Amino acid sequence: MQILLDIVSWVLLLAGSAFALIGAVGLIRFPDVYARMHASGITDTLGAGLILAGMMIQGGFTLVTAKLILILIFLLFTSPTSTYALANAAYSRGLQPLLGGPEPDPAALEAADPASAIPGQAESGSVGSVSGEDKSS
Amino acid sequence: MLHAASLGLVLFGTWLLLSGMYVPLLLTLGVVSCAAVVWVARRMDVVDHEGHPIQLGWRALIYWVWLGIEIVKSNISVARLILDPKLPIHPVLVTLKAGQQSELGQVIYANSITLTPGTVSIRINDNTILVHAVVKAYAEDLESGEMDRRVTGIEGSDPPQLLGSR
C-alpha cells in the first residue's frame, strides 16, 4: 500500500515538475509580456497544483496536508490577482500586445479571422525580428 | 454580524490547523487573537459580502470543481502550444461582456479567466473585461459565455442587494 502511494505521489510530483518546466520554456519562447503570462500561468496552476498534490499524498492525513491545502488555496486566489495587476500595469503604461502570428503562416491566418492580424505584424516577418522588438521595448 | 461570526470561525479553524498544539494556554491565546482580528476587521469595515463572501455558499464549490477541470484542460492545451516547434500562437485582444451584477462577481469572473492559461484579463471597465488570448480559439471559447453564465449563477440569490450595499 505504501509503495502504491509512493508511486502515485511521485507521478504527481514529476508531472508537476514537467509542467513547471514547460511553463519556463514558454516564458522564453513566447514573444511578449502578455503572451508570457500565459506560460507562467501553467507554472502557477497545474505545475504548483500537481507538486502540492504529490506532497499531500506523502503527508497523509496530517496537519502538514492541511497546511498544503491552505497553500494551494492561497495560491489560487493570489496568483491571478498578481497576474492581473501586472497585465493591467503593462497595459496602462501603453505597452501594446503583439497581435497576430509572430510567423505569418498563410494557413493559420486563413483559418483565423484575417481582419484581426495587424498589418505591421505581418511585415515584421520572422521570429527573430519580433523578439528583437520585445527586447527594445 | 453573521459575517463576523463566520470570519471568527474560519480564523480560529485556520489557527487550529496551523498551530497543531492543543494545550489550554495556546487555545486561549488563539481565541483572543482571533477575536482581536475580527474586532479590527469590523472597525476597518471590511467584514462584508466582498471581504468574506459567505453568500456564495455551496454553489461556489461546484463552480470551483468545474473551473478546476477547465484549468487542467487549458493547461494541457497551452503546454502543447509551447512544445510545438512552430509555436503556432496567434494572440488576440477581445472585449468580453461581464454579465455579473456585483463587483465581486466580476472579480471572480476576471480571476477565473486569468487562472485558465491561455487567457489573461487585462482591464475591467464598467461591465466589460479586456482579455488577451494567446490563440483565437481560446477567446472564442470565452465568447461562447459559458464561464460568464456559471459565475453569474453562483453570485448569490439576491444580486440587487449586493450592489453598493456598503
Number of other CB atoms surrounding residue A3 within 10 Å: 7
ipTM: 0.79
Instruction: Give pLDDT tens digits for B62-95.
Output: 899 999 999 999 999 999 999 988 888 888 899 9
User: Which grid cell sits at A110?
Assistant: 486563413
Q: How far is A34 from chain B (nearest CA, A)?
A: 7
Residues B33, B67, single domain; the answer is no
- In chain B, the number of structural domains is 2
The answer to whether residues B21 and B87 belong to one domain is: no
**What are the residues facing A130 on neighbouring strands?**
none
B63 three-class SS:
helix
Asked if the structure places residue B21 within a domain, the reply is yes
Give residue for cell 491565546.
B29
User: Reduced to 3 states, what is the DSSP secondary structure of residue B19?
Assistant: helix
Which residues, at least 6 apart from B128, have a Cβ–Cβ distance to it below 8 Å?
B95, B96, B97, B98
The range of the structural domain enclosing residue B35 comes to: 2-43
Q: Which residue has the higher pLDDT, B56 or B157?
A: B56
Q: State whether B76 and B145 are in the same domain.
A: yes
Question: How high is the pLDDT of residue A136?
Answer: 41
Give the 3-state secondary structure of residue A48: helix
Note whether B120 contacts A98, CB cutoff 8 Å: no
Q: Are residues B79 and B20 in the same domain?
A: no
Q: How far apart are CA A75 and CA A81, in angstroms?
A: 10
In this prediction the pTM is 0.77
Please write the tens of the pLDDT for every residue from B141-165.
888 888 888 888 887 554 444 444 4
Residue B48 included in any domain = no
Contacts of A117 in chain B (CB under 8 A): 90
Q: Do A97 and B119 touch (CB under 8 A)?
A: no
Option in B78, B130, B136 nearest A42 (CB): B78
Please indicate, yes or no, whether residues B64 and B125 belong to a single structural domain of this protein.
yes
- Residues of B engaging A, defined by a Cβ cutoff of 8 Å: 14, 17-18, 20, 71-72, 75, 78-79, 81-83, 86-93, 110-112, 114-123, 130, 132, 134, 136
pLDDT of residue B22: 87
List the pLDDT tens digit at each of the 137 positions of chain A.
889 999 999 999 999 999 999 999 999 998 888 889 999 889 988 999 999 999 999 988 888 999 999 999 999 889 999 999 999 999 999 888 888 755 544 444 455 544 444 444 444 444 443 443 444 43
Amino acid at B86: K
Helix segments in B44-158, DSSP class H: 57-83, 103-115, 136-143, 146-153
- Report yes or no on B51 lying in a domain: no
C-alpha to C-alpha distance for B67 and B51, rounded to whole angstroms: 21
Residue B64 lies in a domain: yes
pLDDT at position A23 is 93
